[in-house]
Structure 1
Amino acid sequence: MSDPLWQPTAEQIRSCQMGQFMRSINSQHHQHLTTYGELHRWSIKHPQVFWKLLWAFTGVVASAESEHVLEQERPFYKSRWFPGAKLNFAENLLRYRDNQTALVSWNETGKQKSLTYAELYRQVAQLANAMKAHGIQPGDRIAGYLPNIPEAVIAMLATTSLGAVWTSCSPDFGVAGTLDRFGQIQPRMIFAADGYHYNGKELSSLNTIFEVSRRIDSVEHLVIVPYLSKTPDLQSMDNALLLQDFIAEESAQEIEFEQLNFNAPLYILYSSGTTGTPKCIIHGVGGTLLQHLKEHRLHVDLSRNDCLFYFTTCGWMMWNWLVSGLASGAKLVLYDGAPFAPEVDIFWRIAAEESISVMGVSAKYLSALEKTGIEPIKHFSLPALRAVLSTGSPLPHEGFHFVYRSIKSNLMLASISGGTDIISCFALGCPIRPVYAGEIQCRGLGMDVSVFDEHGQTVYDRKGELVCLSPFPSMPIGFWNDPEDQRYHQAYFDRFTNVWSHGDYAEITENDGMIIYGRSDAVLNPGGIRIGTAEIYRQVEQLDEVIESICIGQPWHEDERIVLFVRLQAGMSLSEELVDRIKWVIRQGTTPRHVPDIILQVADIPRTLSGKITELAVRNMVMGEPVPNTDALANPEALELYRNIPALQPSKS
């Protein structure tokens, strides 16, 4: 067992909210829990007691509580949590209404504005009452086509205060990609900004959203947020009006929060869409709230004293996760722009200026930051920073060492993993456990997570399928237009009976942590040996010459061979010497089975609109198969780089 990179002090364990929560269980239920492992096992064994205690501990605001915690059914996705409860999501996020800062907005040009909790409440009240005056009712869908700015948060809170359903995507989605999402769920209203910032450019959104609005019959109002310009031109769109004009008649300062069932719809999120039209995943009011409160309060130890940042767009579930930080009274920092613009160290300048205590980024960002040579520890004073969160893809060992060497030596580095499907995490950080390189610290409280082999048996210290064996509150309440739950069942429950199969290739470690090796559908299988692509990426991307890589399995002579594509630093070419060095690094760090049969240089790697590389699309191109729904890709033109590559064609002999 390797030494930990960080471990909490006895005082940190005692004073954090997870420590407090464990003591309350011991006191109220005559337990003697002392470790996280014991606490997790207790939460799985007593789910109804655990979630009810969590409800009380986090102070859920509700007009009616539920006598029953869980009505269990088979398959377990039909189970219903807190069936008698009545509450409102926005009311819980707006429980604080004082002069402490709620939101701070930054973009590539600098700090833009800040809002206190009192100001946020007033602005939500104005917009909510204007929406109500325009006939918005519970269950109506409201869409956001917005950058990560305060108006996105305000529009979401106004929507959910009325019991309506919020959905959003990033303004870098084109017409087809936006229609694939909003067109399915038929929103009554769309909120959109006139544009957004990215990599030194101001990019207009108006033509795209005007066209989308024209082609969705249900849209009654298109409300434009002036962002790039104070006076955007709306003459070409009949039903468009500026935000200030939409709320001009409304001066109400109070919100009448619509009380909803725990399992009423709150959000609609979308799958990546790389294998077809995106699935519209419906998440519930209470499950989302309770799960986020658990993760923020217990696993991150978030409080009113904290400043929380996560680099995300409004098209990724981490935006929803970030915004829920309001329920803990924290200050949230929003950012619109590229991660390395206008300077490569922009995030760390913001972290220093805003006293960010919990910093969230992607694993790819940390890898790219390391390759710039920038070491924030040498240039910025970050006394408030106590946690760095990483998600989006597995964080390799080297990423862990980079954070502790080049950002800050004394903090909790929490690699987290879950996704859009559950709007939360299966595995994440733990303030009362050590951090080991390459490992996620723990499985989430109340999450009955295991790893199955191909026969459906639980395995430890072996790779297999990440599964969840019991119901949890943040399960989707359904898919849109899937009344018999056929697509829902197919997505998660087809592989194992009454078991959620998440689609990740994973391992539970000897430390009782977790390693994610990539998506199950991208697992390589040369000679019948299953290999996670993340195992190869971890080795390859240690090389300074390699910016990023993507790996596929190509059927070859009744077996499968590994093909690795690498994107190199500007001006570099893939020499035989570099090919040999890449193979040597992979062999030394893994096994001879992991060494690619072929390594090729490419100018670009296709990625989804949320920034994730897509092995399946590359594999389809190499095999001459169609790639469905290329509108789900941020750079679909990159696919052509993988068509008819001579080195990958079968010989004619």
Structure 2
Amino acid sequence: MSAPLWQPGRAEQHSQLSHFWQQAREISGEPLPDYRALHGWSVQHPETFWRQVWDHCGIIGEPGSTVLEPAARFQDCRWFPQATLNYAENLLQRNDAHPALVSELEDGTRQVISYAQLRVAAGQVAAQLQAAGIQPGDRVAGFMPNRIETVVAALGAAWIGAVWSSCSPDFGVSGVLDRFGQIEPRVLIACDGYHYNGKWIDLEPRIHELHSALSPELLVVVPGKGSSSRVQKALIWQAWLDAAAPAPEFQRLPFNHPLFILYSSGTTGQPKCIVHGAGGTLLQQTKELQLHGDVSRDDTLFYFTTCGWMMWNWLICGLHTGATLVLYDGNPAYPSTARLFDLIDSERITHFGTSAKFIQAVEKSGLVPKESHQLNELRTLFSTGSPLLHESYDFLYQQVKPDLLVSSISGGTDIISCFALGNPLVPVYRGELQCLGLGMDVCVLDDSGQALSDRKGELVCRQPFPSCPVQFWNDPDGTRFHNAYFARFDNLWAHGDYAQRVPHDGNDGLIIHGRSDAVLNPGGVRIGTAEIYRQVETLGAIREAIVVGQEWQGDVRVVLFVVLAEGESLTDALKQQIRQAIREGASPRHVPAVILTVPEIPRTVSGKIVELAVREVIHGRPVTNRNALANPQALEHFSGRPELA
């Protein structure tokens, strides 16, 4: 077993998790000597644990006397059935001059709003929505970039119990309608443009089309430049806020009252509309931020995300900790990969979140952040979106900051939170997520449903958890919801990840080997795609790659597509180098039968590669929802390839 890359020090012994752990010992009367014991207690005594989270993390509201109302089916269990709370009231409980949000746009525009100012602005939105007749449960949709107004609008909607749903403005009209068209919003809040890659992207034509197709009762436009907009029949954001009556009282509603509607990627069909409740979202995310992330009121939290990715919802819950949140909108690598590291220094960021792919891009760009930047306040780096390569851990510790807590986290839109994530009190090992999330009964199973230790299998959760979705939209009998998560294993949540638990002294790490529906199966041996990416994407000649299985002569063969670095060509020597790296770093069964080049790889708007869509294309099958892709034209590079005939 390799030595840890990071070990907790004296400062970590005073973390919020450390205090919570001591409380758990007192409550349980058990010694709970290591994290495995603490985690075991949290899943064996869920009612005690989640009530402790409510109290320790300072949830405002009435919890009621019952924590968990059991049911025969996992999906029918109810958490805190007597509770009432308001999400916005909780996030806005700090009400002073401390900076709540710092916004930086790609063009350099910087804006700051304090907690007191944020509370006033969100209250103005709440008052105007209420004046327009918006009721609890009505949908308010945002076609917005990641800026202060978006957070204000979401909190204003939550203030009165309306349901917030957002799409990133880089979605095309069809992609937005595939989502918002299902939920029929009464209000549409949109920005008329944004900056990306050094250009101004005008959204006014798209807003006109969306307004016409959705017919919301209220259209509010946030001018991206200046104070006015040319969008017809639209109210202008600041004037709309200025005309508001006094803020209403926070509307406290049941624990499972709908808060957010998020969307599946939709690359193989119409996106699923996933409804998340206010209580489960708040309780789960604040547990992760405070206990696993050790984010406090003196910290500055950043996550690079768009408003179409669940990490935006996770980020804004950071307001509940009282920390300052930094928002960035634009290309994170414009004009160079130093851009976000500049932001770390200028805003004194303590907790920095990004994607595994961005970290790879920084490494390949040649930037050495420990030499080019100060990074004095930076303590924790969060990474998600795809598995963080072993070599990326090396880069972060050798070229970024040697005492950095690298927290690779994994969960998803489906649970608006994490199954496995970071921990300030256990070591970091190369290639592993540090620990299983407290209260999350995570297990890895083989195909017959038997638990596995240190072997690859299906990631499941065996017991209910508060951030389980309330429902899918327009799924009255719950059939689609059940089939999505509970059809694979009886009464267990099957997440769709191919994973492996790694036992350590007093703890279990986790390795994610890719999505289980993208697992390759040559010769009947299951292979996670992440195992191949790890070998290929460390080669200097390869910028990025995508691998799929092709049905071939009664079996499956591995097909690898690569995007080459500038000036490189796919020679026989490079193919041999790729195959050798995979054979030595993984196994002979991982070696691709075919290696081809493509100029780009198709991705969702949140940046995830779409192996399933590529697999459908190379088999000549239709991809039913190209609108879910940021670059649907990229699929054409995989179609009709004679090498695959």
The verdict on a shared fold, with TM-score over 0.5 as the criterion, is yes
Cα distance in 1 for partners of 2:398, 2:541 equals 21
Unaligned stretches of 5+ residues in structure 1: none
Q: Which residue of 2 aligns with 1:244?
A: 238
Q: Which residue of 2 aligns with 1:291?
A: 284
Are 2:127 and 1:133 aligned? no
Q: 1:65 deviation in Å?
A: 2.1
Q: 1:287 deviation in Å?
A: 0.2
Are 2:150 and 1:156 aligned? no
Q: 2:225 aligns with which of 222, 225, 228?
A: 228
Letter in 2 for 1:550: I
Cα distance in 2 for partners of 1:14, 1:612 equals 36
Q: Which residue of 2 aligns with 1:553?
A: 549
Matched ranges for 1:453-472 at <5 A: 453-472=446-465
Cα distance in 1 for partners of 2:621, 2:445 equals 31
Does the 8 Å CA contact 1:144/1:152 hold for their aligned counterparts? Answer: yes
Q: 1:221 deviation in Å?
A: 1.1
Unaligned stretches of 5+ residues in structure 2: none
Cα distance in 2 for partners of 1:30, 1:289 equals 28
Are 2:640 and 1:644 aligned? yes
Matched ranges for 1:384-533 at <5 A: 384-511=377-504, 512-533=508-529
Q: Which residue of 1 aligns with 2:35?
A: 36
SS state at 1:509 partner? strand
Q: 1:152 deviation in Å?
A: 0.2
Does the 8 Å CA contact 1:12/1:432 hold for their aligned counterparts? Answer: no
Cα distance in 2 for partners of 1:48, 1:586 equals 47
Are 2:62 and 1:69 aligned? no
Q: 1:197 deviation in Å?
A: 1.3
Matched ranges for 1:53-132 at <5 A: 53-62=52-61, 64-132=62-130
Q: 1:315 aligns with which of 286, 308, 314?
A: 308
Does the 8 Å CA contact 1:198/1:338 hold for their aligned counterparts? Answer: yes
SS state at 2:242 partner? coil
Q: Which residue of 2 aligns with 1:635?
A: 631
Q: 1:142 aligns with which of 140, 158, 167?
A: 140
Task: Show CA shifts across 1:275-309 (max 9, x none).
Answer: 10000000001000000110000000010011000
**Percent identical residues:** 53
Task: Show CA shifts across 1:313-341 (max 9, x none).
Answer: 00000000000000000000000000101
Does the 8 Å CA contact 1:109/1:342 hold for their aligned counterparts? Answer: no
Q: Which residue of 1 aligns with 2:199?
A: 201
Q: 1:255 deviation in Å?
A: 4.2
SS state at 1:510 partner? strand
Cα distance in 1 for partners of 2:25, 2:458 equals 34
Task: Show CA shifts across 1:417-474 (max 9, x none).
Answer: 0000000000000110000000000110000000010000100111000000000000
Letter in 1 for 2:299: D
Q: 1:174 aligns with which of 166, 172, 175?
A: 172
Task: Show CA shifts across 1:72-131 (max 9, x none).
Answer: 112211110000001000000000001111000011122410011011111111121111
Q: Which residue of 2 aligns with 1:599?
A: 595
Cα distance in 2 for partners of 1:53, 1:381 equals 38
Aligned residues: 642
Cα distance in 2 for partners of 1:403, 1:496 equals 38
Cα distance in 1 for partners of 2:337, 2:356 equals 16
Q: 1:544 aligns with which of 540, 555, 564?
A: 540
Letter in 2 for 1:367: Q
Does the 8 Å CA contact 1:202/1:228 hold for their aligned counterparts? Answer: no
Cα distance in 2 for partners of 1:509, 1:30 equals 28
Superposition RMSD in Å: 0.9
Does the 8 Å CA contact 1:583/1:596 hold for their aligned counterparts? Answer: yes
SS state at 1:257 partner? coil
Does the 8 Å CA contact 2:121/2:241 hold for their aligned counterparts? Answer: no
Does the 8 Å CA contact 2:337/2:361 hold for their aligned counterparts? Answer: no
Q: 1:188 aligns with which of 183, 186, 189?
A: 186
Cα distance in 2 for partners of 1:54, 1:476 equals 19
SS state at 1:215 partner? helix
Cα distance in 2 for partners of 1:244, 1:303 equals 31
SS state at 2:214 partner? coil
Cα distance in 2 for partners of 1:127, 1:406 equals 45
Q: TM-score, normalised by structure 2?
A: 0.99
Cα distance in 2 for partners of 1:342, 1:242 equals 31
Cα distance in 1 for partners of 2:96, 2:150 equals 21
Q: Which residue of 2 aligns with 1:344?
A: 337
Does the 8 Å CA contact 2:421/2:435 hold for their aligned counterparts? Answer: yes
Letter in 2 for 1:33: L
Runs of at least 4 residues off by over 4 Å: none
